[in-house]
Structures are given as C-alpha cells and as structure tokens.
C-alpha cells in the first residue's frame, strides 16, 4: 500500500521521485520476502 500511494502521489500531485522512495520500497519488499520465506524444521 505505501508503494502504491507513493506512485499515485507522483502521478497525481507531480511529486518528485526521491532516494527515500527507493529506500522505502526496498525495505517493504524485503520485509514481504522475509515474512513469506519458508523455514525448514531441523
């Protein structure tokens, strides 16, 4: 949701694409990937 709202702000409000948008998107995607990672039982 935050990534989509940042993209929409760039489209509708002509907000400039900044480094923190990339950084935030990387953190969000990393969190999603880590939370969906399957752990094998030892």
Domain residue spans in the chain? Answer: 2-33
Asked whether the predicted pLDDT for residue 40 surpasses 80, the reply is: no
Q: Look at residue 33 in the predicted model and tell me its pLDDT.
A: 92
* pLDDT grade for 31, boundaries at 50, 70 and 90: very high
Asked whether the predicted pLDDT for residue 28 surpasses 80, the reply is: yes
pTM of the model: 0.65
* pLDDT grade for 7, boundaries at 50, 70 and 90: confident
Ranges assigned E (strand) in the chain: none
Q: Look at residue 42 in the predicted model and tell me its pLDDT.
A: 61
Instruction: Judge whether 15 and 37 are in contact, CB under 8 Å.
Output: no
């Amino acid at each position: 949701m935050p990534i989509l709202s940042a993209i929409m702000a760039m489209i509708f409000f002509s907000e400039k694409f900044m480094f923190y948008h990339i950084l935030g998107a990387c953190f969000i995607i990393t969190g999603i990937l880590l939370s969906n990672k399957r752990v094998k039982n030892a």
